[in-house]
Amino acid sequence: MDNVVKVARIGKSANSTDPNDFIFHSLYNTFKIVKEATKVVTLLASTANQSFTEAHNINSYVPLVSAFAKKTGEAWVFLPNGLDVDTFGAKAGLLGDITFNYVASDPNNIIFNFNNDSASTAEVSIRYFLLEKV
Amino acid sequence: MTQVIKIALPGYNASTDTNPDHFALYVDQQTDYILIKEKSYATVSVTGSRDIAHNLGYIPFCLVFQEISNGVWRKVFSTAIDGVGASFMIDGTNLKLIGTGTFSYRIFYDEVT
């Protein structure tokens, strides 16, 4: 018989067999955020495919990475494969100047890639989370 | 009396701190700060598409990444990333990886619908 440590959600039984009923259950790996940080980058005007790197300093494995971006002075957060939405509408669709093309990781670095369609430079703040190994 | 279980991260006081970001485990019987629970993960080769059975009967939270060049991994979303063409879909039975190349996925027990 397994020795188990488990913490049930409010209103749920600790004897439940549904993993969704638990805040924590020692038989299941709790997915871990290894590191969380922010990085501010300045995008060149009217330039696509701008990459920025940040050393992750994890020497033993390539971490999965998840990231969120926000243009300075604006409220919306946007994800990789998306853009900062300045305006939107049924006919116009989504309109924005900055596209967060992707976030990637390799054995040494995290790579953030953007397009800036604006005629002005733009400052973008990125919050990123390094997760467990690939 | 409220029953509390807290495990603080290094440098934080479990008795006085109330920011859930400062805890590995925070249970106070008032809010469910759920820790996501991993069901399975693997790195697989995909040509066109590939179904990964999870058989949970509901749609679980998952994360998908693709190796876009040797040793470089990029997060995949539910629509194709320009220039790569990778995406994924998930239902109550399968995670469907779409694209060609090496994918890494993690499926969690935590339901999203």
Query: Where exactly are the structural domains of chain B?
Result: 1-34, 38-111
The pLDDT score that the predictor gives to residue A83 is 81
In chain A, residues under CATH classification 2.60.40 are: 32-133
The pLDDT score that the predictor gives to residue B32 is 87
The pLDDT score that the predictor gives to residue B82 is 58
pLDDT digits (tens, 9 = 90+) for A71-119: 998 888 888 988 887 767 666 666 789 999 999 999 999 999 999 999 9
CA distances from B79 to A81, B49, B86 (A): 8, 14, 8
The pLDDT score that the predictor gives to residue A2 is 74
- The mean predicted confidence, pLDDT, of chain A is 90
Nearest Cα residue to A62 out of B62, B111, B18, B75: B75
The pLDDT score that the predictor gives to residue A94 is 66
Which is more confident, B39 or A82? B39
Most A-contacting residue of B25, B32, B77 (CB-CB within 10 A), to test interface: B32
Band (B78; pLDDT cuts 50, 70, 90) = confident
The pLDDT score that the predictor gives to residue B83 is 60
Is this model's pTM higher than 0.95 or not? Answer: no
- Pair A56, A63: CB distance under 8 Å: yes
The pLDDT score that the predictor gives to residue A35 is 92
How far apart CA A9 and CA A27 sit, in angstroms, is: 16
Instruction: Point out the residue among A66, A101, A103 whose CB comes nearest to the CB of B82.
Output: A101
How far apart CA A65 and CA A87 sit, in angstroms, is: 29
The pLDDT score that the predictor gives to residue A41 is 97
How far apart CA A114 and CA A131 sit, in angstroms, is: 22
The pLDDT score that the predictor gives to residue A92 is 65
What does the DSSP assignment read for A89-123? ETTTEEE-SEEEEEEEE-SSEEEEEEEE-SSS-EE
The pLDDT score that the predictor gives to residue A81 is 85
State the DSSP code for A61.
Answer: S
- Tokens 């805890």 locate to B23
3-class DSSP assignment, residue B2: coil
Q: CA of B62: which chain A residue's CA is closest?
A: A31
How far apart CA A78 and CA B7 sit, in angstroms, is: 32
The pLDDT score that the predictor gives to residue B79 is 72
CATH of domain B38-111: 2.60.40.10
CB atoms within 10 A of CB B92: 13
Instruction: Give, for A134, the enclosing helix (H) or strand (E).
Output: none
Instruction: Give, for A40, the enclosing helix (H) or strand (E).
Output: strand A35-43
How far apart CA A38 and CA B60 sit, in angstroms, is: 28
Chain B residues in contact with A65 (beta carbon < 8 A): 75
Nearest Cα residue to B37 out of A31, A6, A123: A31
* A45 part of contact set with chain B, CB < 8 Å: no
Q: Is the pLDDT of residue B81 over 70?
A: no
- The mean predicted confidence, pLDDT, of chain B is 90
Q: Quick check: A20 and B111 CB within 8 A?
A: yes
CB atoms within 10 A of CB A24: 21
Q: Is the pLDDT of residue A24 over 80?
A: yes
Q: Which CATH class is domain A32-133?
A: mainly beta
Q: Is the pLDDT of residue B20 over 90?
A: no
Burial grade of B24 (CB within 10 A; 0-12, 13-18, 19 or more): middle
